[in-house]
Amino acid sequence: MCTSIVEIVKAEGSGKGDGGWFDLTTAVVSYDHPHHALLQEAIAIDFVNSALGPGARVAVEITLQSAKELSAALSRAIAAADVVESARLRGT
């Protein structure tokens, strides 16, 4: 594969890489050759700070199935967090 499946979004928060914690600017999700996982293709997720050097990176390479389960877990956690935030806004 030599895909063009790449999604790039802003990311605000922190990530922990080789050199410790750093501020994030960007999250990149792609489906292509993994560097390390023994898979033909993988969903790769990189959290980076584009203003820092290439080492400012938190990386994972996971199977498509794992990515689907992660995506569903994110959706569930975000939906629950939205309920908490809505309650906070209402002052209840």
Partner 1 sequence: MAYEGMIAETISINGNKGEPISAYVARPLGGGPFPGVVLIHHAPGWDEWYRETTRKFAHHGYAAISHNLYHRAGEGKSDDVAAKVRAEGGVPDAQVIGDTEGAVAWLRAQPYLNGKVGVMGTCSGGRQTFLFACQSKSIDAAIELWGGRVVMSKEELTPKQPTAPIEFTKNLSCPLLGLFGNEDAAPTPEQVNQHEAELKKHGKQYEFHRYDGAGHGFFYYDRPMYRIEQALDGWKKVFAFFEKHLKK
CA distance 41 to 76: 26
- In angstroms, what is the minimal distance from the CB of 16 to partner 1? 15
10 to 29: interface string for partner 1, x by CB under 8 A: ----------------x-x-
Query: What gap in Å lies between CA 9 and CA 76, rounded to an integer?
Result: 20
The helix/strand/coil state of 92 is coil
Residue 16 in 3-state DSSP? Answer: strand
> Is 30 an interacting residue with respect to partner 1 (CB under 8 A)?
yes
Helix (H, G, I), strand (E, B) or coil at 24: coil
Give the end-to-end CA distance of the chain in Å, rounded to a whole number: 52
Site for partner 1 in 52-71 (CB under 8 A): 53-55, 57, 59
Near partner 1 by CB under 8 A: residue from 12, 20, 35, 78: 35
Using CB under 8 A as the criterion, which residues of the chain lie in contact with partner 1 when the complex forms?
1-4, 6, 8, 26, 28, 30, 32-33, 35-36, 38-40, 44, 46, 48, 50, 53-55, 57, 59
